[in-house]
Structure 1
Amino acid sequence: MAPKVLVSDKLSETAVQIFRDRGIDVDFLPDLGKDKDKLLEAIGQYDGLAIRSATKVTEKILEAATNLKVVGRAGIGVDNVDIPAASKKGVIVMNTPFGNSITTAEHAIAMMMAAARQIPEANASTHAGKWEKSRFMGVELTAKTLGLIGCGNIGSIVADRAIGLKMKVLAYDPFLSQERADKLGVTKVELDELLPKADFITLHVPMTEKTANILSKDALAKTKKGVRIVNCARGGLVDEEALAELLKSGHVAAAAFDVFAVEPAKENILFNLPNVVCTPHLGASTTEAQENVALQVAEQMSDYLMTGAVTNAINMPSITAEEAKVMGPWIKLAGHVGSFIGQMTDEPIKAINILYDGVASDMNTAALNASAIAGVLKEVIAEVNMVSAPVIAKERGIAISTTTQGKSGIFDGYIKMTVVTDKRERSIAGTVFSDGKPRFIQIKGINIDAEIGEHMLYTTNRDVPGIIGALGAAMGAHGVNIANFTLGRTKAGEDAIALMYLDQPMPAHVVEELEKTGLFQQVRPLEFEIA
């Protein structure tokens, strides 16, 4: 019996035909996704569900989807899909992470030009019959300096277009290697160097804990007088109130925003300012982009339903069903190992070296690699998944190497990751015990046995008396409960580490209190996805 797919949002007829051509029974009901009751009633008969943003795939919908095997989202955002509920039900969620890149980059360039030449205001004035030629004095892009905040997939396209316009491009991106910067023709800088030098600033980063409010009031104050700021990435990257004040004072000459902190943006402090260009989140809104992602999602879903091949899955590695049973805990371990290093590394990564020992060396190391690399990158790229991670690492010039070896120690197998930056090498190793639970077994060459929890605290120090007491006293004084406490050292009186599994997130003020004791070289809270 042929698999059956429901298309519940507006996909092109060409995309729908792909399903038919691949032998899949498809129902094209583009308005059904807006009616949650009718969708709930119908979903039980389908193996696949192809959507855009209108259909909300909730836990309730998934509970009723008794035959559903895959959800395909035409586009990158999957906020309208309950990923944990889908994972629990064994439903694969796919997206099309690179289909909108050119369109979004072109919109950023268009917004930059509109801000440079005051095109929307001049258009309105001319339509009103005013002919205010002397009022609209713009600036050229040629020979100006563009500051890119984020130089990944979209940012690198913007850089290429800007260089074609004879602009000088400065790029701030913690994961941009010097080799990649040289290839793109951009100058790699720190944020504090970019801000006072850029005539134009455009943002191309995801919304994460590290990037939220990256152009804060203090950062905006460091910008060059007359700067023009473009944001076609995510709302909340810029302090809108501080920007509005600087636009009114003339320090910021103009701004062009496609995204806002609260959307849909029916009102905003930036609205109606004469030197601000606004569009309603149009970054991906071109005929070509919408067609591309529709065709991609139809191909991906067809491949999975007909052959079992998995592409661009958010919640599943690219492995066979047989491999998944054995590899599940090791996939999680690889992600935790990568996440540990990703949270500890603040400078650009040049290389990632992964060693697989013993039983781990006989597994699908490509899938393990993908999980480990995704763990590293997710700290700065929210949308990264196991399929896109190797591609993004390659784009950013990060060299990936893999080594396998037979059983070499007391463990049946382990995974060891080493990350190389211009400043240091950092390594961590982990294994999976017979209970199926991942453990960290070595950090910085120091042997430990640490259970991995959602909330953890990592410290480094000299091996001196008083460390355990200081940590225990600080936690006790602020009501932070320690579930597991692991210590390790090179030798007496030398380098030592502590890794604690906590019952709740580590408060920032407690971290500051520990840092002020002078006992620790590093005090770093860590968070891991355990589910």
Structure 2
Amino acid sequence: MPKVLISDKLSEQAVEIFRARGIDTDFRPGLPAEELLSVIGEYDGLAVRSATKVTAEVLARASNLKVVGRAGIGVDNVDTKAATEHGVVVMNTPFGNAVTTAEHAIAMMFALARQIPQADTSTQAGKWEKSKFMGVELTGKTLGLVGCGNIGSIVADRARGLRMRVLAYDPYLSEQRAIELGVRKVDLEELFAEADIITLHTPLTDSTRGIINAEALATMKKGVRIVNCARGGLVVEEDLRAALDSGHVAGAAFDVFVTEPATENVLFGHPNVVCTPHLGAATSEAQEKVALQIAEQMSDYLLTGAVSNAINVPSVTAEEAPILRPYMRLAELMGSFCGQLTRSAIRSIQIELEGHAAELNADPIKAAAITGVLRSQVDSVNMVNAPTMAHQRGIDISVTRHDREPDYQTLLRVTVTTGTRTREVVGTLIGGDKPRLVGVQGIGVEADFAPRMLYVRNYDKPGFIGALGSMLGEAGVNIATFHLGRRESGGEAIALVEVDQRVDDAVLASVKALPQVVRVDSLSF
């Protein structure tokens, strides 16, 4: 039974989902960091919000951990790089709080435009400073969206309802999608120059950190207003304060800060600044939604292998998982076959799909094949970290789909290239789920992936089979099955021999010494 730890405050219904799915669940919100380090090794899954810091140290202690689930969109508190290196899937819930966060950004725009918090404080203090709080209309103003994904697109929709003109900067926004949203796609410089209000909806990455700084602020029109409900660190807070003090920026509304909890900040106290304590996703509806979503996603992964909304591994739907599982197993076995025969640095791995396989989600199949290839060369490799490990080693990965009709209903081909040679294996599924090897180095040969096998390259000469059988028999090694293939009579041939006992190095050396043998390897699956 998988075991999950919930270390932050989540809805009780999330706990009920885990337990109803048959997952042993410990609900320990507010767990101290030092205690998390001492217990994390017991768990297969860890569910968090933003309080728990899933650091490299935590992941190094998490010997059984398979998945970290973040109930929310941001994963700043999870060391995703370290998680990937340790083979841990990181999931989030990017859609659960999108509406809530977008609505908060719109609310902050209104509060900023009409100085509502300041006017409220003044009025409740018994003052009646009607002329002091002269606001601006949003209608007719130009809104600049930095980021137009799930949340940004909702903000765009609401802004258009307010009769605002909307510009969007997002490298991943297609022209067609921009047209559908009714926004104009622009570069960042144009957005800064034209926008009356700028609102941020982008993750914090190396390329977006400090995207609004003194240099950027100087290019904006005088009187611009800036809203940040995305991530602290997107704006250089000291630079913004200077621009507010000079009057170049008319106002700012911030829900997120570089340091949180933000008990003090350079922006605090400015009369034209509105601040909230990271409330973007803080509605009862959103909290419930993301908690239930992450519980379902983690349960699906731990119980069926389905991957949803993962940050560091290809997604596999619950419907795809049972279909893909035998293909992923076949790809991993084929990769392992190549990997065990490879003795030098790998330059490339090519995965080809034909027949039914060509119609499937190729990413999990690719990851499985890479895992198999690297497993004989790298410790602790799995489908999560295999692509990263391949990239770190400079291995080129390619996937090709063929629409030609194969000899089998479904076919996979894995080709591994080193500096000196290319090795190719071909496999299929028998009965829909049984992996079968059907080709090696262009030679047709049908064999199961047995727990113990000998791979022998030899020349097709009389007496070879008898000599090999006699030698193994004398060594006390029983032959379970024997599969042969050759290019042509008397030419290069391959023997795949399933054996019941481990073949030691001395016996392998004796087989290698047979006059017809070019190469012999002991394989295990």
User: d(CA) in 2 for partners of 1:8 and 1:198?
Assistant: 42
Per-residue CA distance 1:371-428 (angstroms, 9 max, x = gap): 99xxxxxxxxxxxxx9xxxxxxxxxxxxxxx963569xxxx9999xxxxxxxxxxxxx
User: 8 Å contact 2:40–2:61 — kept in the other structure?
Assistant: yes
Q: Describe the SS at the equivalent of 1:97.
A: coil
Q: Report the residue type matching 2:19 in the other structure.
A: R
Task: Specify which of 433, 458, 480 is matched with residue 417 of structure 2.
Answer: 433
User: d(CA) in 2 for partners of 1:211 and 1:62?
Assistant: 26
User: 8 Å contact 2:69–2:294 — kept in the other structure?
Assistant: yes
Q: Cα distance, 1:164 vs. partner?
A: 0.9
Which has the larger Rg?
Answer: 2
The equivalent of 1:144 in structure 2 is: 141
The equivalent of 1:404 in structure 2 is: 402
Task: Specify which of 350, 363, 372 is matched with residue 368 of structure 1.
Answer: 363
After the TM superposition, list the runs of 4 or more consecutive aligned residues in structure 1 that deviate by more than 6 angstroms.
328-331, 369-372, 412-415, 435-438
User: d(CA) in 2 for partners of 1:217 and 1:188?
Assistant: 24
- Relative to structure 1, the CA distance from residue 276 to residue 367 in structure 2 (aligned partners, 3 Å threshold; closer, same or farther) is farther
The equivalent of 1:34 in structure 2 is: 32
Q: Cα distance, 1:45 vs. partner?
A: 3.9
Task: Specify which of 50, 53, 57 is matched with residue 53 of structure 1.
Answer: 50
In the alignment, structure 1 residue 359 sits paired with structure 2 residue 358? no
Q: Cα distance, 1:288 vs. partner?
A: 1.6
- Relative to structure 1, the CA distance from residue 199 to residue 41 in structure 2 (aligned partners, 3 Å threshold; closer, same or farther) is closer
The equivalent of 1:104 in structure 2 is: 101
Q: Cα distance, 1:136 vs. partner?
A: 0.6
- Relative to structure 1, the CA distance from residue 131 to residue 14 in structure 2 (aligned partners, 3 Å threshold; closer, same or farther) is same
In the alignment, structure 1 residue 176 sits paired with structure 2 residue 169? no
Q: Cα distance, 1:236 vs. partner?
A: 2.7
Q: Cα distance, 1:71 vs. partner?
A: 2.6
Q: Cα distance, 1:64 vs. partner?
A: 4.7
User: 8 Å contact 2:314–2:364 — kept in the other structure?
Assistant: no
User: d(CA) in 2 for partners of 1:276 and 1:318?
Assistant: 41
In the alignment, structure 1 residue 197 sits paired with structure 2 residue 181? no
Matches within 5 A, 1:199-348: 199-318=196-315, 323-324=327-328
Identity over aligned pairs, percent: 64
User: 8 Å contact 1:199–1:228 — kept in the other structure?
Assistant: yes
Matches within 5 A, 1:92-131: 92-131=89-128
**Structure 1 residues without counterparts, runs of 5 or longer:** 332-355, 373-385, 387-401, 416-430, 439-531
- Relative to structure 1, the CA distance from residue 286 to residue 368 in structure 2 (aligned partners, 3 Å threshold; closer, same or farther) is same
Per-residue CA distance 1:29-85 (angstroms, 9 max, x = gap): 324x22532x34444443333222333344554455444333322123334334454
Q: Cα distance, 1:299 vs. partner?
A: 0.5
User: d(CA) in 1 for partners of 2:234 and 2:59?
Assistant: 33
The equivalent of 2:3 in structure 1 is: 4
- Relative to structure 1, the CA distance from residue 154 to residue 328 in structure 2 (aligned partners, 3 Å threshold; closer, same or farther) is farther
User: d(CA) in 2 for partners of 1:29 and 1:145?
Assistant: 46
Q: Report the residue type matching 1:118 in the other structure.
A: Q
User: d(CA) in 2 for partners of 1:82 and 1:211?
Assistant: 18
In the alignment, structure 1 residue 153 sits paired with structure 2 residue 146? no
Q: Describe the SS at the equivalent of 1:229.
A: strand
User: 8 Å contact 1:74–1:297 — kept in the other structure?
Assistant: yes
The equivalent of 2:24 in structure 1 is: 25
- Relative to structure 1, the CA distance from residue 64 to residue 245 in structure 2 (aligned partners, 3 Å threshold; closer, same or farther) is closer
Task: Specify which of 67, 70, 74 is matched with residue 70 of structure 1.
Answer: 67
User: d(CA) in 2 for partners of 1:46 and 1:436?
Assistant: 44
Q: Cα distance, 1:252 vs. partner?
A: 1.7
- Relative to structure 1, the CA distance from residue 364 to residue 56 in structure 2 (aligned partners, 3 Å threshold; closer, same or farther) is farther
Give the TM-score normalised by the residue count of structure 1: 0.60
Q: Describe the SS at the equivalent of 2:361.
A: helix
User: d(CA) in 1 for partners of 2:77 and 2:420?
Assistant: 32
User: 8 Å contact 1:99–1:292 — kept in the other structure?
Assistant: yes
- Relative to structure 1, the CA distance from residue 243 to residue 53 in structure 2 (aligned partners, 3 Å threshold; closer, same or farther) is closer
Per-residue CA distance 1:117-154 (angstroms, 9 max, x = gap): 11111111112111111111101111211111221211
User: 8 Å contact 1:97–1:312 — kept in the other structure?
Assistant: yes
Q: Cα distance, 1:26 vs. partner?
A: 2.3
CA RMSD of aligned residues (A): 3.7
Query: Would you say how many aligned residue pairs link Structure 1 and Structure 2?
Result: 365
User: d(CA) in 2 for partners of 1:437 and 1:313?
Assistant: 36
- Relative to structure 1, the CA distance from residue 86 to residue 330 in structure 2 (aligned partners, 3 Å threshold; closer, same or farther) is farther
User: 8 Å contact 2:138–2:162 — kept in the other structure?
Assistant: yes
